């Protein structure tokens, strides 16, 4: 049987396995072919949506036998092309969106076992139904899915308190490249009897296997929440304020989001419901949230005392403390609306970087200086998660620039920013992943020994190279 016949036979068998509901065509597949940001468009040989782990395993076994490359996809909300097929028409797009079952909630063990196609906000709701918290939270939570969250080791706004997706996962179920199923759905918090295999697959972006289910950690629900927006004159003032906030609150600091005036203004100017809470425009802002499962109201006093000290010392310029849940949500709406606001402000070049928290002020100063020298008139729009050193260092086009000409300088701007990051020992992919967008930069900047180790793992788990080729590694 020639190669074409082998592929056709495999696809026919796959269609029989997933059934008509799982063989997507026409309008059913169209939304899965365009990446959310529009940078990549998939041209797959087929789009399938298995309904169970067993079906995923059968599909991968057939693809391995026929040499068909497989691109796993969950919510299709990625920003780096990690869940997009190439344009060769030879890769199979495997959607996990039909696998949406919460298999078990164990409140005594504080765990939830869920399938990879579960929408993140639905998982948050399932935890709330049993008076628990699943703390992973990010802007796309209404449409992103668990499989993608784990495949990219998603971060979000609660990392400071609860950690990344990796920290919230105790066990995995994974279908390997040859169709075998690894059942690692352990809810154990202590197990030194093996290599921690789950950490190979979390953050691997589907290049080593397909995550089909996970055991997730749950936490007590917050009973008190206090939110404030603090005006500052510099990122250095924000970094100095961070330990004071943690100390005064008994380490109940859940969110700590840094925003420049430029970034905040994009939300205020372009997004409904965004209003400046201050009469004066300040250079920098810190959105702060404290939360605790303890009942009472001591958090407000703790927050007000910390901010009072910061204002008295001149560390902070002004502050607004939310008087209600609605006011707190309005402050978060400002932060969450920055990406949407920037879309209305012309073309933008984006960076998702992390450095040590102590290095953030120096990074912002150096990267801004170099970018402004290289691209006169560019509007630097930095914002992000101060508490874990993750900044979205976005660049808005000069006001009179041609959008296409500005975007043509993407790689040049990447190199400038990434060189500053690398010099500080940081990462060019903090929470969005590498995908296909950053493969070349990863090869340029990563330690060769580390790249060799990564390729060895890839070869061991995917010897035929069928799992999400061209992503993370080439």
Query: In terms of domains, do 214 and 267 share one?
Result: no
User: Is the residue at 464 inside a domain?
Assistant: no
Q: Which of 95, 117, 142 is the last residue of a domain?
A: 95
Query: In terms of domains, do 320 and 422 share one?
Result: no
Backbone angles phi, psi at 176, to 5 degrees: -80, 170
- Residue 436's CB is within 10 A of a number of other CB atoms, namely 22
pLDDT greater than 90 at residue 36: no
CATH assignment of the domain containing 118: 3.30.465.10
If you compute the radius of gyration of the chain from its CA atoms, what whole number of angstroms results? 23
User: Is the residue at 200 inside a domain?
Assistant: yes
Residue 104: the pLDDT is 98
Query: In terms of domains, do 255 and 313 share one?
Result: yes
> 281 or 1, which is more confident?
281
Query: In terms of domains, do 382 and 285 share one?
Result: no
Rounded Cα distance, 36 and 76, in Å: 7
Residue 249: the pLDDT is 82
Query: In terms of domains, do 88 and 150 share one?
Result: no
Query: Structurally, how many domains does the chain consist of?
Result: 4
Rounded Cα distance, 375 and 322, in Å: 39
Query: In terms of domains, do 45 and 131 share one?
Result: no
User: Is the residue at 453 inside a domain?
Assistant: no
Q: Which of 38, 71, 95 is the last residue of a domain?
A: 95
User: Is the residue at 231 inside a domain?
Assistant: yes
Give the range of the structural domain holding residue 135, as residue numbers without chain letter: 102-220
Query: In terms of domains, do 46 and 75 share one?
Result: yes
For residue range 63-85, what is the model confidence (pLDDT) as tens digits? 999 999 999 999 999 999 999 99
**Residues 161/131, Cβ–Cβ less than 8 Å:** no
State both tokens at 279: 């009469």
Query: In terms of domains, do 131 and 211 share one?
Result: yes
CATH assignment of the domain containing 428: 3.30.70.2740
CATH assignment of the domain containing 257: 3.30.70.2190
Residues 158-183 have a mean pLDDT of 97
Query: In terms of domains, do 253 and 195 share one?
Result: no
User: Is the residue at 62 inside a domain?
Assistant: yes
CATH assignment of the domain containing 31: 3.30.43.10
pLDDT greater than 60 at residue 1: no
Residue 2: the pLDDT is 57
Query: In terms of domains, do 317 and 356 share one?
Result: no
Residues 450-465 have a mean pLDDT of 97
Query: In terms of domains, do 258 and 319 share one?
Result: yes
- DSSP string of 212-232? EEEEEE-EEPPSEEEEEEEEE
**DSSP character at residue 119:** B
Residue 35: the pLDDT is 87
User: Is the residue at 469 inside a domain?
Assistant: no
Residue 297 confidence class, pLDDT cut points 50, 70, 90: confident
Residue 125: the pLDDT is 98
Residue 452 confidence class, pLDDT cut points 50, 70, 90: very high
Q: Which of 220, 248, 281 is the last residue of a domain?
A: 220
Query: In terms of domains, do 236 and 336 share one?
Result: yes
Bridge partners, 220 (sequence order): 132
User: Is the residue at 245 inside a domain?
Assistant: yes
**Residues 41/47, Cβ–Cβ less than 8 Å:** no
User: Is the residue at 78 inside a domain?
Assistant: yes
Residue 210: the pLDDT is 98
Residue 102: the pLDDT is 98
pLDDT greater than 70 at residue 414: yes
Rounded Cα distance, 94 and 379, in Å: 39
- Residue 87's CB is within 10 A of a number of other CB atoms, namely 12
């Amino acid at each position: 049987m020639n190669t074409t016949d082998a592929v056709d036979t495999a696809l026919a068998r796959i269609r029989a396995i997933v059934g008509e509901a799982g063989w997507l065509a026409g309008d059913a597949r169209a939304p899965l072919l365009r990446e959310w940001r529009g940078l990549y468009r998939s041209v797959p040989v087929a789009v399938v949506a298995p309904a169970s782990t067993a079906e995923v395993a059968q599909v991968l076994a057939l693809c391995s036998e026929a040499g068909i490359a497989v691109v796993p996809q969950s919510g299709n909300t990625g920003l780096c092309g990690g869940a997009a097929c190439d344009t060769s028409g030879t890769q199979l797009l495997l959607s996990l969106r039909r696998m949406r079952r919460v298999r078990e909630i164990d409140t005594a063990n504080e765990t939830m076992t869920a399938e990879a196609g579960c929408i993140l906000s639905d998982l948050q709701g399932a935890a709330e139904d049993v008076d628990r918290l699943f703390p992973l939270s990010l802007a796309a939570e209404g449409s992103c899915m668990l499989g993608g969250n784990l495949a990219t080791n998603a971060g979000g706004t609660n990392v400071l308190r609860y950690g990344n997706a990796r920290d919230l996962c105790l066990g995995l179920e994974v279908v390997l490249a040859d169709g075998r199923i690894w059942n690692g759905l352990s809810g154990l918090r202590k197990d030194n009897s093996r290599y921690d295999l789950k950490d190979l697959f979390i953050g691997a972006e589907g290049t080593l296997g397909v995550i089909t289910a996970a055991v997730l950690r749950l936490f007590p629900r917050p009973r008190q929440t206090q939110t404030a927006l603090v005006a500052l004159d510099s990122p250095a003032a924000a970094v100095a304020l961070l330990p004071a906030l943690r100390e005064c609150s008994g380490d109940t600091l859940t969110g700590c989001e840094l925003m420049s005036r430029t970034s905040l203004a994009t939300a205020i100017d372009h997004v409904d419901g965004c209003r400046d809470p201050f009469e004066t425009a300040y250079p920098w802002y810190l959105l702060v949230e404290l939360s605790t499962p303890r009942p009472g109201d001591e958090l407000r006093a703790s927050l007000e005392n910390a901010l009072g000290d910061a204002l008295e010392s001149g560390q902070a310029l002004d502050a607004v403390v939310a008087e209600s849940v609605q006011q707190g949500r309005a402050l978060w709406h400002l932060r969450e609306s920055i990406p949407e606001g920037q879309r209305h402000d012309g073309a933008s070049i984006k960076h998702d970087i992390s450095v040590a928290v102590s290095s953030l002020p120096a990074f912002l100063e150096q990267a801004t200086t170099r970018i402004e020298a290289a691209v006169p008139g560019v509007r630097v729009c930095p914002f992000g998660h101060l508490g874990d050193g993750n900044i979205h260092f976005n660049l808005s086009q000069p006001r009179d620039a041609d959008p296409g000409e500005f975007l043509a300088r993407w790689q040049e701007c990447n190199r400038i920013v990434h060189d500053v990051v690398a010099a500080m020992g940081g990462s060019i992919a903090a929470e969005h992943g590498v995908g296909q967008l950053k493969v070349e930069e990863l090869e340029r900047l990563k330690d060769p020994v580390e790249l060799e180790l990564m390729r060895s793992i890839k070869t061991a788990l995917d010897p035929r190279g069928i799992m999400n080729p061209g992503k993370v590694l080439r």
